[in-house]
Chains A and B, each alone.
Chain A
Amino acid sequence: MATEILSGKVHVQTTINGEQVDFLAEPRESLLEVLRDHLGLTGAKEGCNNGNCGACNVVMDGALVNSCCVLSVEAAGASIETIEGVASPEGLHPLQQSFLENAALQCGVCTPGFIVAAKALLEENPNPTEYEVRWWLAGNLCRCTGYDKIVRAVLDAAERMRAEA
């Protein structure tokens, strides 16, 4: 059977933060545009819109990705985790708490991307060195903090999460 070539509005079924989600989008729209403009999930931010800044980071099928560099239609059948799924009904994620306590944000535009990326790091490596934190987060740009407080917040959260584990 020949493959269908999709254009115009396409019906996409995906999973976002554990819930099945349906949306209509054109193939030219990015996953970031769908999250923000169609689904009201405005936590992921549009910074550079070309894969350099990490403000739009989400986890897609277990891999950290820049959602500005994913087509809407590629979300079909995927499992996507966004910043909106990081906190639980019981309270903030240890990373979020640590960012607050360590003053790791100023304007806050980069913060959702940093937290999504840092969460992915700590799930893979619960005890990273400072170098490993800086290397993993190199694709998340912050124009306010100078990074030091962010790195300290991630190391602090890692320590708390290890203590709780």
Chain B
Amino acid sequence: MRAIQYAAPSTVEDAVAILAEHGSDARMLAGGTDLIVQVREDARDTGVFVDAKKIPELMELSVNADGSTTLGAAVPCHQLYNDAHFTATYPAVTDAARIIGSTGIQGRASVGGNLCNSGPAGDTIPPLIVHSAVCNIAGPDGERTVAVEDFCTAPGRNVLADGELLVSLTLPKPPAGSGSHYLRFIPRNEMDIAVVGAGAWLQLDGETITAARTGLGAVAPTPLFVQAAGDALVGMTADEDAFAVAADIARDAASPIDDMRGTIAHRKQLSYVLTQRALRGAKARAQGGSPTNGH
């Protein structure tokens, strides 16, 4: 690896000061499972690594007075799926946290890092979108918030300006009678990057859908919030006919490319099938059960 500098600030203010001074040469280091490898393999030229893990706000995982959850940007995946409350409350997020890389990757890799890496296939991003998560950003001009669906702007790019960092995510408390699920297609059982990933969140009143959100990964330059699919479901009975309507909209929303992982036609079809399955899983969880179609 090229020579680098390393700083481990203990406050957000210090981190912002270092990021602002070094501009695009500096980058926050959470688990390093993307950043260290990218710099080692010359895919990214970062000279100043700013360790996120000594800053309390970036390592926070707590439930707020209003029932929402604050998820620090550097909290590793394994901490999330070992947290019973988080897993029960935001199951789509832990569905993703369990399938990113391997156990050894999940020991370090964070949801915030996954989001800031801004890959179109980032597994935690559609789950954050369907849970209406908001990014808490700090920078030289103060703090601001951005909805997760507006955070990524292009492959590997996001709204963070020089000097800014993602401090945490706020996940609203899901209402009673709701559930979520995320799953992806890969040609093997584990340790791969999504050909397509789909997340869904549903709120039910009896069998009637009262609110819904779906999202897709790896079918566009950024992870997608498929708002029209969720909107179409509102008022419908949560059955296969309704899920087919939403899945059709998801397929139309997908604008994938052909690459080594899959073709356009395959990814369009997967957008349909996985949206359908994610909705089935979200419904099962909303009714107190579990998804039956694996991960």
- Which residues in A have their C-beta under 8 angstroms from that of B103? 64, 117, 120-121, 136-139
**Cβ A71 vs Cβ B6 within 8 A:** yes
Range class of the A interface residue count? 35 or more
Q: Does A73 sit within 8 A of B, measured CB to CB?
A: yes
Q: Flag the segment in B10-18, B123-131, B175-183 that touches A.
A: B10-18
Choose one: A2, A5, A136, A138; the contact of B5 (CB below 8 Å): A5
Q: How far is the CB of A132 from chain B (nearest CB, A)?
A: 11
Q: Does A101 sit within 8 A of B, measured CB to CB?
A: no
**Residue on A nearest B48 in the bound complex, by CB:** A5
Q: Does B240 sit within 8 A of A, measured CB to CB?
A: no
> In the complex, A7→B3 CA distance in Å?
8
Choose one: A3, A10, A69, A120; the contact of B32 (CB below 8 Å): A69
> In the complex, A120→B247 CA distance in Å?
40
- Which residues in B have their C-beta under 8 angstroms from that of A51? 33, 37, 101-102, 104-105
**Cβ A28 vs Cβ B3 within 8 A:** yes
**Cβ B36 vs Cβ A30 within 8 A:** yes
Query: Known contacts being A50-B37, A63-B78, A138-B191, is A3 close to B105, with CB within 8 Å?
Result: no
> In the complex, A63→B5 CA distance in Å?
25
> In the complex, A52→B9 CA distance in Å?
29
**Cβ A63 vs Cβ B107 within 8 A:** yes
Q: Does A161 sit within 8 A of B, measured CB to CB?
A: no
**Residue on B nearest A3 in the bound complex, by CB:** B9
**Cβ B102 vs Cβ A69 within 8 A:** no
Query: Known contacts being A3-B10, A51-B101, is A71 close to B36, with CB within 8 Å?
Result: yes
Choose one: A29, A66, A76, A135; the contact of B104 (CB below 8 Å): A66
Q: How far is the CB of A133 from chain B (nearest CB, A)?
A: 11
Q: Does A84 sit within 8 A of B, measured CB to CB?
A: no
**Residue on B nearest A76 in the bound complex, by CB:** B8
Q: Does A6 sit within 8 A of B, measured CB to CB?
A: yes
**Residue on B nearest A5 in the bound complex, by CB:** B7
Choose one: A3, A6, A7, A139; the contact of B102 (CB below 8 Å): A139
Choose one: B14, B48, B49, B191; the contact of A139 (CB below 8 Å): B191
Choose one: B7, B36, B49; the contact of A4 (CB below 8 Å): B7
> In the complex, A100→B212 CA distance in Å?
53
Q: Does A74 sit within 8 A of B, measured CB to CB?
A: yes
**Residue on B nearest A73 in the bound complex, by CB:** B6
Interface membership of chain B positions 32-52, coded 1 if the CB is closer than 8 angstroms to chain A and 0 otherwise: 110011001100000011010
Query: Known contacts being A69-B36, A138-B189, is A28 close to B104, with CB within 8 Å?
Result: no
Interface residues of B (CB under 8 A from A): 1-10, 14-15, 17-18, 29, 31-33, 36-37, 40-41, 48-49, 51, 53, 76, 78, 101-105, 107-108, 189-191
17 new A-B contacts, CB < 8 A, other than A3-B10, A63-B108, A138-B102, are A3-B9, A3-B14, A3-B17, A6-B5, A7-B4, A27-B49, A28-B3, A29-B1, A64-B104, A65-B104, A69-B32, A70-B32, A71-B29, A74-B32, A74-B51, A136-B103, A138-B191
Interface residues of A (CB under 8 A from B): 2-7, 10, 26-30, 49-52, 54, 57, 60, 63-66, 69-71, 73-74, 76, 117, 120-121, 135-140
Q: List 22 A-B contacts (CB under 8 A).
A: A3-B8, A3-B18, A5-B18, A6-B5, A6-B7, A7-B6, A28-B2, A30-B36, A50-B37, A50-B41, A51-B105, A52-B191, A54-B102, A54-B104, A69-B36, A69-B37, A73-B6, A121-B103, A137-B103, A138-B102, A139-B103, A139-B105
